[in-house]
Structure 1
């Protein structure tokens, strides 16, 4: 899939990456520019099982995926063309270690006009999609699941704080964090 994505990009222009979760606060790559962006037709959802980063195979945690429907505010990162392939390869090792996401080129609307950016989306048909979780299931996961990068709660809360820092409101995430603080 990496070869296909590199081919689709082509390498003739700068590479744009859309971040909607941890990429906003921990991109782990150098970029020339960062802009707020909005994608239509997709939304951020804490509905992807994490069996390494935020959980284990025995006690999976959760991470964000982009599911179809609605809209999503995040950030786009511009990587100069000459560094695009290298950055994409490193990003692929991080985001696609288990090949769970469906990488897609999406139109991202920014204050300076639209850009085509690579986003990591999640199919509802994926075995990593949680489906509907109850409040009690979310509570249990937030209290018990820990992976190599920490807990699901830390991840969700850090994302929430960074979204706030960039004046991005995610009502679904706000509601979930409020629920879990009760």
Structure 2
């Protein structure tokens, strides 16, 4: 699959006809909601874990020196904490462009902190996209992040902002915090 997933995401019909849809954010969507939303709530999704395994050629790196940003990978029993936004379908155009570098719009079950749940959507970069970098040690990921910068700024800002947002939410993420520790030590 190519880097640009806009056309693929525009074909998703799952939420056609809905007046509003819940969107789950687990990376920069936690702290950078540059789109209109109706409501915002802390939430989680099950059996997926956040990993810095996706390359960023368009925001936090370049084609020659991609940065690393988060995606979700399957892990039985895992819980990924993040932020859910109630949005209207008109926001998809903006989000499809923002998440175009390999991310697919997928349906998922979102659980709110009060234990209620709803079907919503999430953008996930799967291993079959051209920008996928895959697993690496947290120390190697930190080195790549430290050396990368793109049109949206230094890759290190993305990591530090994500770690800060997770702490503000009172949520722990061992992978994110370990990379942060390597980056800042």
TM-score in same-fold range (> 0.5): yes
* Number of the residue aligned with 2:128: 125
Structure 2 gap ranges (5+): 1-7
* Number of the residue aligned with 1:85: 89
Say whether 1:3 aligns with 2:10. yes
* Number of the residue aligned with 2:3: none
State how 1:24-63 maps to structure 2 within 5 Å.
Answer: 24-63=30-69
Q: CA separation in 2, counterparts of 1:112 and 1:31? A: 22
Alignment deviations for residues 91-131 of structure 1 (CA, whole Å, 9 cap, x no partner)? 111112x3x11221100111261011210112233332222
Given candidates 118, 136, 144, the residue that maps to 2:147 is 144
Q: How many corresponding residue pairs?
A: 175
Deviation of the 1:141 alpha carbon: 1.4
Q: CA separation in 2, counterparts of 1:142 and 1:2? A: 28
Deviation of the 1:13 alpha carbon: 4.1
How has the CA–CA distance of structure 1 residues 129 and 89 changed in structure 2, closer, same or farther, with 3 Å as cutoff?
A: same
Query: Helix, strand or coil for the counterpart of 1:8?
Result: coil
Say whether 1:105 aligns with 2:103. no
Name whichever of 32-41 and 125-134 sits farther off: 125-134
Deviation of the 1:146 alpha carbon: 0.4
How has the CA–CA distance of structure 1 residues 10 and 155 changed in structure 2, closer, same or farther, with 3 Å as cutoff?
A: same
Say whether 1:76 aligns with 2:84. yes
Q: Tell me the TM-score normalized by structure 2.
A: 0.87
How has the CA–CA distance of structure 1 residues 139 and 72 changed in structure 2, closer, same or farther, with 3 Å as cutoff?
A: closer
How has the CA–CA distance of structure 1 residues 136 and 175 changed in structure 2, closer, same or farther, with 3 Å as cutoff?
A: closer
Q: CA separation in 2, counterparts of 1:136 and 1:178? A: 9
How has the CA–CA distance of structure 1 residues 121 and 179 changed in structure 2, closer, same or farther, with 3 Å as cutoff?
A: same
How has the CA–CA distance of structure 1 residues 137 and 175 changed in structure 2, closer, same or farther, with 3 Å as cutoff?
A: closer
Structure 1 gap ranges (5+): none
Query: Larger helix proportion, structure 1 or 2?
Result: 1
Alignment deviations for residues 25-76 of structure 1 (CA, whole Å, 9 cap, x no partner)? 1111111111111111211111111112001111111111111212211011
